[in-house]
Amino acid sequence: MKKDIESRADIELMVDTFYIQVKQDDVIGHYFNDVVKLSWETHIPVMYNFWETVLLNTAGYKGNVMQAHINLDKRAPMQAEHYDRWLLLWISTINQLFDGNKAAEAIARAQTMAFLINAKVLKSREEGFIQ
C-alpha cells in the first residue's frame, strides 16, 4: 500500500523520480538538457526546496518561478503540449509513488501552476508586458 507525502525524504523521492522521466522525455526533455543545460546538481535541490515549501509549508524555497519560465520561453517558446506533458509526467509520478491528501494536493498544485505559468508566459509575449 502506498503512503502519503509526509517528509523531505518523500519530496526527494518524488522529485528524483519525476526528473528521471523528464530528462529522457522526447517532448520536454530538451528544455532541461539542451535549452537551459541545467546543472542537475544545482537544480534538483532547488526543486526539493520548492515542493517542500509548497506541500509541507517550510520556508526553504527562494526563487521566482514565473520569471524563470518567462526567461525559458524567450529561449525556446513553450506550447500547450509542453505543459500537458509536464503534468502527465508529474501526475504519473505522484500516482506511482503516493496516495493520500498531500499526494492529491501535489497534483492539484501542479495543475494550478501549469495553468498560471502558461497564462503568464503567454502574457509576457505581448508588447509592453511588465512583470
State residue 3's pLDDT score. 97
More confident residue, 62 or 112: 112
**For residues 79 and 101, what is the distance between their CA atoms, to the nearest angstrom?**
30
**For residues 26 and 79, what is the distance between their CA atoms, to the nearest angstrom?**
14
Domain contains 114? yes
Domain contains 92? yes
Domain of residue 92, CATH code: 1.10.490.10
Contact status, residue 33 vs residue 27, Cβ threshold 8 Å: no
Across the chain, mean pLDDT equals: 93
State residue 62's pLDDT score. 86
State residue 28's pLDDT score. 96
State residue 131's pLDDT score. 65
Contact status, residue 66 vs residue 117, Cβ threshold 8 Å: yes
**Mean pLDDT computed over 1-17:** 97
Domain contains 30? yes
Check whether 38 has a pLDDT greater than 90: no
Name residues whose C-beta falls within 8 Å of residue 39's C-beta, 6 or more positions apart in sequence.
none
State residue 130's pLDDT score. 72
Domain contains 130? no
State residue 105's pLDDT score. 98
- Is residue 30 within a helix (H) or strand (E), and if so which, with residue range? helix 29-30
Domain contains 131? no
Instruction: Give the pLDDT confidence of 113-131 residue by residue, as tens digits.
Output: 999 999 999 999 988 877 6
**CA proximity to 69, closest of 56, 58, 82:** 82
Total structural domains in the chain? Answer: 1
Determine what percent of the chain is predicted with pLDDT higher than 90: 79
* Domain span at 36: 8-122
**For residues 25 and 19, what is the distance between their CA atoms, to the nearest angstrom?**
9
State residue 55's pLDDT score. 97
Check whether 53 has a pLDDT greater than 80: yes
State residue 59's pLDDT score. 81
Domain contains 128? no
